[in-house]
Structure 1
Amino acid sequence: MSSQTLEETRAELDAPRSGFGHALRAEWIKLWTVRSTWWTMSALIVLGAGLTTLICWGNASWLASSDADESPGSFITWGMMIAQVCAVIVGTLAVTSEYGTGMVRTSFAAVPHRGAVFAAKAIVVCGVLFVVGTATAVLGYLGGNYFLDREGIGLALEGDVARAMYGSGLYLAALGLLSMAVGFLVRHTAAAISIVLATVFVIGNMVMLIPGELGDFITKVMPGNAASSLVAPVSFNPEALGAWTGFGVLMGEVAALCALAWWLLRTRDA
């Protein structure tokens, strides 16, 4: 063995191994160095805060009248119902974009423990969506409450209203994690986004057609419905699960899907 080969081998042995901190930093860089993240986050803020402000502006006078059959608290986070589409896209693209380009093989070569890659992606995606989601809900509250205040029905940022602000961030983080898990399962951007959006928006409403108590139960525990009370001071659906009960149900569903995605990630080829 030549002296050059010995030196190269020694250098490889002495090189620092990639730890979980390196994986976190890599996932952070990968998330923010693609234009789709910036566009999607911008859309999340515009839709979440902008639509809440617009809806409150358009309904403030009606909500203040005696004809109103809804609470102002049902509208103060209204835009977050649409902004959740952006959370689905962010969570999905964090996974499927790498499978689409083949870069996932590089990620697994740099961090052979695939579970660490999964965990690092989950922490980064959930952390970003929680912060952006909470900030967006607060912006929507400030804009929407301005018009509610003008009609004398403004809401103080306390109690259930304050809970709805960070609850919106928690819900978007959970939805991003759910989308990540589906992304690892199907490895295709369009398919993963379609599956999650269909589950949240379409199937979640269609199950209402199932008669009896079974239909009521399934409707309450669907991912898009379970945490509906968490993201609004007053839910549009009085039969919905309680705020933290519903969030617990949602997190149980997300955890089960993540466990399946984690197992498949470690057992099948990249």
Structure 2
Amino acid sequence: MIDTVALDPNRHVPGARQHPRFADTLHAEWVKLWSVRSTRWSLALLFLLGAGLTTLVCWAAADAIASGEAGEAAGSFLTWGLIFSQLTALALGTLVVTSEYGTGMMRASITAVPRRGAIVAAKALVVSGVLFVAGLVTAVAGYLGGNWFLDRAGVGLALSDDGVLRALLGNGLFLAGLGLFAVATGLLVRNTGAALTIGMGLVLVVGQLAYALPGTWGEWVAKLLPGNAGGSVAMVQPFTGVALAPWTGFAVFAAEIAALLLAATLVFRRRDA
């Protein structure tokens, strides 16, 4: 006699899980992130560029800042290396997604975790968490190194000074946001070169060129672009006066990232791996 219950593919087997828990998916993404050497290289480069270049530019500009020849306040230089550490944050977020498409790992991931939204959420949490910590550590190291030279020139800033702690925390938040931006772009484009070009072009190139647009509308376009809107929270004092208030800009940046991630998740759910 045939056991029809045993042949039912939808039957419930005691002790068996139909889908992995989100904690399992999160752990898998964490393991995948740290199993490739590019992660360590990216984070090492992020630290060297962010902290190293901040220290270097403060050393080089300290006397000019003190004499007024620099034309900028000391606070503008304390997170200067962020300009370059953005590159590695974008690269890391992109590779987390596009490397899986390149190797075919994405098909295995989807097979193991059929709920694709859980994959996106796990990648987003892992990437943003790692980049937040890396950005915060880098910003603190850059502040300690750069402010040492500024102090010697009599223009150093204390942690209690207006905007300093916010900028250090903001570095972590901004780099985490850039990582999410790159994850979303990678899901939409699925090609490393194309995703990096879009991310770096929009954040670093278009964001700067937009300041050259004429009139009030050009000023607002520049303010609202992701790199400019989000970057203001990571600066003690911006080099340009044309910027949104730090937390206002970050709120705009967060809304843009959320919208892009939502679009990427919807496309990821409907498209073949």
Q: Normalising by structure 2, what TM-score?
A: 0.93
Query: Is 1:169 matched with 2:172?
Result: yes
Distance in 2, Cα, partners of 1:67 & 1:184: 46
Give how far 1:228 is off: 2.7
Distance in 2, Cα, partners of 1:139 & 1:2: 70
Long gaps (5+) in structure 2: none
Give how far 1:15 is off: 3.2
Write out aligned runs for 1:108-127 (5 A). Answer: 108-127=110-129
C-alpha RMSD of matched pairs (Å): 1.8
Distance in 2, Cα, partners of 1:165 & 1:205: 22
Distance in 1, Cα, partners of 2:163 & 2:114: 44
The answer on whether the counterparts of 2:26 and 2:123 sit within 8 Å (CA) in structure 1 is yes
1:5-25 CA-to-partner distances (Å, cap 9, x unmatched) read x7xx99976334411000000
- The answer for the alignment partner of 1:222 in structure 2 is 225
Amino acid at match of 1:212: G
The answer on whether the counterparts of 2:61 and 2:70 sit within 8 Å (CA) in structure 1 is no
- The answer for the alignment partner of 2:183 in structure 1 is 180
- The answer for the alignment partner of 2:241 in structure 1 is 238
Amino acid at match of 1:91: G
1:74-101 CA-to-partner distances (Å, cap 9, x unmatched) read 0000001110100000100010000000
Give how far 1:207 is off: 2.2
Aligned residues: 266
Amino acid at match of 1:258: L
Distance in 2, Cα, partners of 1:13 & 1:202: 56
Query: Is 1:49 matched with 2:48?
Result: no
- The answer for the alignment partner of 1:131 in structure 2 is 133
The answer on whether the counterparts of 1:228 and 1:240 sit within 8 Å (CA) in structure 2 is no
Against the structure 1 CA distance between its residues 117 and 53, is the aligned structure 2 distance closer, same or farther, given a 3 Å change threshold? Answer: same
- The answer for the alignment partner of 1:28 in structure 2 is 30
Write out aligned runs for 1:1-270 (5 A). Answer: 14-16=15-17, 17-158=19-160, 159-270=162-273
Distance in 2, Cα, partners of 1:18 & 1:178: 26
The answer on whether the counterparts of 1:133 and 1:172 sit within 8 Å (CA) in structure 2 is yes
Distance in 1, Cα, partners of 2:2 & 2:137: 60
Q: Normalising by structure 1, what TM-score?
A: 0.94
Distance in 1, Cα, partners of 2:173 & 2:57: 23
Distance in 1, Cα, partners of 2:14 & 2:74: 64
Give how far 1:2 is off: 10
Distance in 2, Cα, partners of 1:202 & 1:229: 16
The answer on whether the counterparts of 1:227 and 1:241 sit within 8 Å (CA) in structure 2 is no
Give how far 1:49 is off: 0.3
Give how far 1:142 is off: 0.4
Amino acid at match of 1:167: G
Give how far 1:204 is off: 1.3
Amino acid at match of 1:15: A
Distance in 2, Cα, partners of 1:171 & 1:147: 26
The answer on whether the counterparts of 1:174 and 1:251 sit within 8 Å (CA) in structure 2 is yes
Distance in 1, Cα, partners of 2:67 & 2:39: 42
SS at match of 2:31: helix
1:184-211 CA-to-partner distances (Å, cap 9, x unmatched) read 0000011100100000111112223322
SS at match of 2:188: helix
1:208-229 CA-to-partner distances (Å, cap 9, x unmatched) read 3322111111011111111232
1:2-60 CA-to-partner distances (Å, cap 9, x unmatched) read 99xx7xx9997633441100000000000001000010000000000000000000000
